[in-house]
Amino acid sequence: MLFSLRDVHRNVFRLSGVYANKNLSSTKRYFRVNISRRSVEMKDLSQPMASGYKPRDVESAWYAWWEQQGFFRRQGGKERFVMVLPPPNVTGNLHLGHALTCAVQDAIARWHQMLGNEVVWVPGCDHAGIATQVVVERHLWASQGLTRHHLGREKFVEEVWKWKEEKGTQIYDQMKRLGVSLDWDRAVFTMDEVMCEAVNEAFIQLFDSGLIYRRNALVNWCCALQSAISDIEVDHLHLTGKTEVAVPGYEKPVTFGMMYDFAYKLSDTDEELVVCTTRPETMLGDTAVMVHPDDKRYQHLHGSRVHHPFRNESIPVIADYHVDPGFGTGVVKVTPGHDQNDYEVGKRHGLPELTVFDEQGRMTDIVPEFENIPRFEARQLVLEALKEHQLFRGSRSHPMMVPRCSRTQDIIEPLLKPQWFIDCDDMAAQAISAVQKGDLQIHPDNHRQAWFEWLKNIKDWCVSRQLWWGHRIPVYCVHHGGDQETWIAAQSREEAERKFLRNSGASESSIIAINQEEDVLDTWFSSGLFPFAVFGWPKETDDLRRLYPTTLLETGHDILFFWVARMVMLGVQLTGELPFKNILLHGLVCDAQGHKMSKSKGNVIDPTDVIEGISLQALNDRLHASAKGGILTAAEVSQGIKKQTANFPEGIPQCGADALRFTLCTYNTKNQLLSMDVNRIEQSKFLGNKIWQTVRFLLSAIQKTPNGMHNAYHVNIEQRNELSVMDKWILSRLSQMVSVANKNFEAYDLHLVTSGFITFWQNHLCDVYLESIKPSLRSGSEETKAALISTLWTCVEVGLRVLSPFMPFLTEELYQRLPCVTGKRESIMQCDYPLHNEWLCWRDEELGKKVESLLTVAAAIRNLKTTYNITQNKVQGSVVSEDSDLNAWLKENLPVVLTLGRIESMNIMDAPASPPATSAMSTLSDTTAVYLHLQGVINPKKELQRLRKKFSKLQKEETKLFGIVSAPGYVEKSPLHVQEAHYKKLTSLRREMDQVQELIRRLEVM
C-alpha cells in the first residue's frame, strides 16, 4: 500500500520518532511502509523486586505503554495548560541543555496533569538552516569529495532530506528515553506543510503592510558558508596580543592581534596623518580619514584631502565625534563598506561605500594589482606595498576580539549585500508594553531590564540567508518596462503576476520576466511563528481557537531575544494576541568547572551517555568518528580527547533517565550558569536506590502481618489518637513536604521541590522514622504494627506522587508494585497530585520542635560514639538537664532516643546530678549536656595512641600549609581564590587539632 509522506508522518513515524515530511516544490515523495498496530501490554511485574535499584531494568517498557494508553493527553479538566517545546535542531543528538529543558518542562507538565488540568505539550524539530547545511556539506566532502555546487541546489536539498531522515529519529528517540510526556500526535517539523504555509503567509502579510523591505546593508558574512549569519551565530575570539589562528581555506595560520600604523600624505602639503588599524587589507576601500572635531592638533586640516596611494585619488579628512582622540594618533581610517561603525559614519558624511572583498573572501578589482588574492594573503602584500611607498610606520602586539562563524570557524567579514529586513520598532514597543503592563510575565524578573534595553535599542531584523536549505523567501522580482524592477510577495509566480498587474495597472505585455528570490529565510523567522503555526495558523482552526495563546514558554535565557522576543513580536503582529502569558528562563548548562560545553572542548555530555553509561574509550572513539564524518577537525579532536580524559577519567557511570532528570531539577535553573557535575547525577541514582529499598521494606512489613495488604490504607485523621509520637511527627513532615512542593511548583522553583523531597524521604523518613519503628515492627502488638504500616504506606504513596513529575519511571514501577487498594489508579500518571489543603490537618509544628529535641540528643550520642570510634550498641549514657519539661519528655519517649542513638540505656537526670567521671560530654545548651559512659567500653591506652598519631599528622599538615601562606611574596603572587582556599584549610586543621587535643586530655584523666 502506498502512503503519502504526510500520512506516514501523522500515522506511523510518530511511533518511532521519525519526522520526515517534505515540502519540496519539485519532488513528490512516497514511501512504502508496513503499519503495525500491535498492542503494548503493561510491563510484567510478577517477579519479586530486585534486591537493589537497577535503572535500566526499571526504565524499560513503561514509555510505550504510557503512550499507547494515552496517558500523555488528559482531555478536559479544571483548566487548560498549553506549552510548546523549543524545537531542537535536526542536526544531531541532544545535549544536556536540551535535557534540562525537557526535564523542567516535563515536570511542570506532569504536575499540571496530576492537578487535573488539560495538558497540551507540543513537540517539534527545527530545520536549522545554517547548522544543517554546514553539517551536510562537511559530510558530503568527507564521504564523497563533493560540494553542494557539484550537486546543484535541487540535488543538494535532496541530500539534506536524506540526512534529516537518518538523524531526525535520534532526537525524538532521546526525548522518549528521557520519559517526556509530549503529545507526539502534534509533532511539527519546521519544514512541514503547515509551517511552510504559515511562513509564506507571515512574510506576505508583513511585506504587504510595509514592515518587510529590501536594502543594501552590512551583514555578518561567512566566506566559507557564503551566507550572511545572525549575531547569535558569531563567536568572539578574545586575543591578548599577537596570535596565530587557523582559518578555513588557508594552509598556514593567520596572524591576528597586531596593530599596524601607516601614513596618508596630504594632497597639497608635505604633512601626513598616521592611522592605526588591525586590518590593513581594508585600507584599499578607505574613503576618508577621520579626526575628532575638538582635537586641536588637526583642526587646521578639517576639509583637507589626503592621497590614497593605491587608487590614485584623494579622500577627505572629516571631523566626527566618533573618534577617540586619546587612542593612538587620534586619526582613524574610514572604510564604510567593511565596518559597521564606519558604515554609520559614512552615512552621516555621504561617503562612498567600496567593497574590497567578494563573497569568497578574495580581493575585488577596486585596486587591480590585488584582484583575486585571498584577503589574508593580501594583508601581507598591502603591508609590503606600503613599505615600498615609504608609508609604513610600524606594528605592535594589540589585544582584540576576532569574530568567527560558530559553524565553520571562518573569520567573519562585514560585507555590503542586498538583504531583506523587518522593521521592528512598532512590534518591539508592543513587546515592551506587554511586560510593563503585566500582561506578559518574565521569570525570573531580573531579565526584565535586559528585555527593555534590547527592545528599546532594537535594530531592523535581517531575515534573508544565502543558503539552499530552508524556507525560500516567497517574494518575486517582476522585470518590466525596460529595466524597471518591482518586488511582489506572493505564494506563487502566478499570484505574483496577478498582484503586480492589479497594483500597477500595467499590461501583461509589459512584463519581461518574473524570478523568485534565491535566498531563504532566517531559521529564527519560522521558529518565531511556532506557538501559533503548530495549531494551524493562518487557518482559523479549532485548535487555534481553543489552544492559542499558550500558557508558558520555557527556554534558555541565551535565546531570550533571538527567539522569545521575536515570537512575542510576530505573535502580536500576526494574531493580535501574545503567544504566551509567562516566560520561564533557565541558565546555561556548563561543565563542572563552569566552562561552556562544546564538542571541540570534549566536555559536551550526551544525555544518553548519562542514562546508559559510557567508557572513556567510547567517548574518544566518537570524536574520531566525527572527524571522519567531517564534523570536527583533527585539532578539535585532539583537544577534545584531552578534555574528555580530564573530565571523565573513568568514563560516565550508568545513572538512568530518572536520576538525570531529578538532578537537573535540583539546580536553581533560574541562575545564569549551571555547572553540571556527573557525580551529582550518580548521587541521585543512590537516592533512587534508597526509595527502592524503602518500598521493599514496606512490602516486606505488609507480608509479615496477619492481614497482609488489608492494613495498607491511607491513615485517616480520625486515627490520630491511635498513632505514636513518631507517626504523628512523620505525617507532619509529610504535610510540610507537600506544602513546599506545591508552593514551589507554582513559583517554578523546582530545586526547592526536589530539595524538600530529599529532606523528607532521606532525612526524615529513612534516617529517622524507619529506624525508630523497627523495634515495634519486630515485637509490637498487631494494633501497633497496623498503625505503623498505615503511616508508612501513606508516606510512601504520597511521596511517590510528589516525586512522579521528576522520576516517572521509578515512581510508576513502585506504584504498580504497591498492593491494590481502594482508589488505586491504572497508572501513577492518572493520580492526583497531593495538595497542601488535603494534608494541612496533619501539620503540628509544636510536636516537631519536641521531637527535634529527641533527635538532637540521639545525634549527640551517635557523634560521641563516632568520636571515640565505638561501633557497639551496648553502651550507656546520661542526660543532665535543668529543664524539667525536657527531662519528662525524654523519659516518656526514651525508646526512641535509645533506638536512634544506638545505645543500650540512658539515665535522665536533673541538674546538678553528675554522670560517671569517665564519661565523654557533649553540651547541647546552657542547661543540658549529654554524656557517654566510656569505662570498660574503650581501651584508653590504644585510643590515646591512635589520637596522638592523628594529632602528629595534623600538626605536620598545619606546619606545611602555614609555611606556604607565610612565605615572602605569597599575598602578592597568589590568586585571591587560592589564598581563600588555603586560609580556610588552615582554619579547619587548627579546629580539628583543638578537638583531638581535648580528647587526649580527657583520656589521660581516665
pLDDT score, position 874: 86
Nearest to residue 777, comparing CAs of 798, 753, 796, 793?
Answer: 793
Domain layout of the chain by residue ranges: 58-207+423-472+522-586, 232-408, 474-516, 588-654, 677-843, 848-938, 941-1005
- Reading the block at residue 42, the C-alpha cell is 503493561
Q: Is the pLDDT of residue 472 over 50?
A: yes
Q: What is the pLDDT of residue 943?
A: 78
677-843 topology per CATH: Isoleucyl-tRNA Synthetase; Domain 1 (1.10.730)
All 3 cell numbers of residue 570? 510576530
pLDDT band at 30 (very low <50, low <70, confident <90, very high): very low
How many C-beta atoms surround the C-beta of residue 201 within 10 A?
19
- Give the cell for residue 624: 574520531
For residue 430, the model assigns a pLDDT of 97
Cα(780)–Cα(777) distance, integer angstroms: 6
Q: What percent of the chain has pLDDT over 70?
A: 94
Tell me the average pLDDT across 30-56.
74
Residue 126's contacts (CB-CB under 8 Å, 6 or more residues apart) are 87, 88, 89, 90, 190, 523, 526, 527
- The yes-or-no verdict on residue 598 having pLDDT over 70 is no
- Position 170 scores a pLDDT of 84
CB 578 within 8 A of CB 552: no
d(CA 477, CA 943): 93
Omega within 30 of 0 (cis) for the link into 403: no
**Read out DSSP for 235-261?**
EEEEESS-EEE--TT-SSPEEESEEEE
Which of the four pLDDT bands, split at 50, 70 and 90, describes residue 996? confident
pLDDT of residue 876: 93
Residues composing the chain: 1006
List all residues 6 or more positions away from 684 whose beta carbon is below 8 Å from its beta carbon.
655, 658, 659, 660, 662, 663, 666
pLDDT value at 739 more than 90: yes
Name 398's Cβ contacts closer than 8 Å, sequence gap at least 6: 241, 257, 258, 259, 278
Contacts of 676 (CB under 8 A, 6+ apart): 96, 589, 590, 591, 592, 605, 667
Q: Is the pLDDT of residue 684 over 90?
A: yes
Helix (H) or strand (E) holding 709: none
The answer to whether the peptide bond before residue 819 is cis (omega within 30 degrees of 0) is no
Q: Burial, 752: exposed, middle or buried (Cβ in 10 Å; 0-12, 13-18, 19+)?
A: middle
CATH 3.30.565.10: does it fit domain 58-207+423-472+522-586? no
* Terminal Cα distance for the chain, rounded: 93
Closest-CA residue to 428 (of 245, 237, 570, 288):
570
Least confident of 24-28, 358-362, 514-518, 655-659: 24-28
- According to the model, what pLDDT value does residue 271 have? 92
Task: Choose which CATH entry (3.90.550.10, 1.10.3720.10, 3.90.740.10, 3.30.110.40) describes domain 232-408.
Answer: 3.90.740.10
Grid coordinates belonging to 984: 580556610
Q: Are 830 and 66 in contact, with CB atoms under 8 Å apart?
A: no
pLDDT at 19 exceeding the cut of 60: no
848-938, superfamily in CATH? Class I aminoacyl-tRNA synthetases (RS) (3.30.2320.20)
Does residue 494 have a pLDDT over 80? yes
Which amino acid does the sequence have at 449?
Answer: Q
Q: Quick one: pLDDT at residue 632?
A: 66
Model confidence pLDDT, tens digit, residues 392-435? 999 999 999 999 998 788 999 999 999 999 999 999 999 999 99
CA distance 220 to 229: 6
pLDDT at 466 over 70: yes
Reported confidence tier of residue 662, pLDDT bands at 50, 70, 90: very high
pLDDT at 869: 84
Q: 849 with 885: CB under 8 angstroms? A: no
For 73-129, how does the pLDDT look when each residue is reduced to its tens digit (9 = 90+)?
877 778 999 999 999 988 767 889 999 999 999 999 999 999 999 999 999 999 988
Residue 636 scores a pLDDT above 80: no
Question: Grid coordinates representing 733?
Answer: 513532615
349-403 pLDDT, tens per residue? 999 999 999 999 999 999 999 999 999 999 999 999 999 999 999 999 999 999 9
The pLDDT of residue 110 is: 97
Check whether 627 has a pLDDT greater than 90.
Answer: no
- C-alpha to C-alpha distance for 69 and 780, rounded to whole angstroms: 44
pLDDT exceeds 50 at position 250: yes
What are the tens digits of pLDDT across the range 538-580?
999 999 999 999 999 999 999 999 899 999 999 999 999 999 9
User: What is the CB neighbour count within 10 angstroms for residue 961?
Assistant: 16
Q: What does the pLDDT average to over 733-759?
A: 97
Residue 12 has pLDDT above 50, yes or no: no
My answer on whether omega of the bond before 549 falls inside 30° of 0, hence cis, is yes
SS3 853: helix
SS (H, E, C) 646-691: HHCCCCECCCCHHHHHHHHHHCCCCCCEEECCHHHHHHHHHHHHHH
Q: Considering only CA atoms, which of 465, 474, 462, 468 is closest in space to residue 566? A: 462
- Using the predicted structure, report yes or no on whether residue 860 has a pLDDT greater than 60: yes
What is the per-residue burial (b if ≥16 Cβ within 10 Å, else e) of 176-196?
bbbbbbbbbebbbbbbbebbb
The C-alpha atoms of residue 769 and residue 729 are separated, in whole angstroms, by 9
Q: Are 8 and 33 in contact (CB under 8 A)?
A: yes
**Rounded CA separation 817/454 (Å):** 53
Q: Kindly tell me if the per-residue pLDDT of 36 is higher than 60.
A: no
- For residue range 507-549, what is the model confidence (pLDDT) as tens digits? 888 999 999 999 999 999 999 999 999 999 999 999 999 999 9
Q: What per-residue confidence (pLDDT) applies to 679?
A: 87
Q: How many of the other CB atoms lie within 10 Å of CB of 161?
A: 19
Residue 396's alpha-carbon distances to 66, 191, 261, 393, 399, in angstroms, are: 66, 50, 9, 11, 10
CATH pick for 941-1005 out of 1.10.3470, 1.10.287, 3.30.420, 1.25.40: 1.10.287
How many CA atoms within 13 Å lie on the side-chain side of 981?
5
Task: Inform me whether the pLDDT recorded for 744 exceeds 50.
Answer: yes
pLDDT at 4: 33
Q: Does pLDDT of 3 surpass 60?
A: no
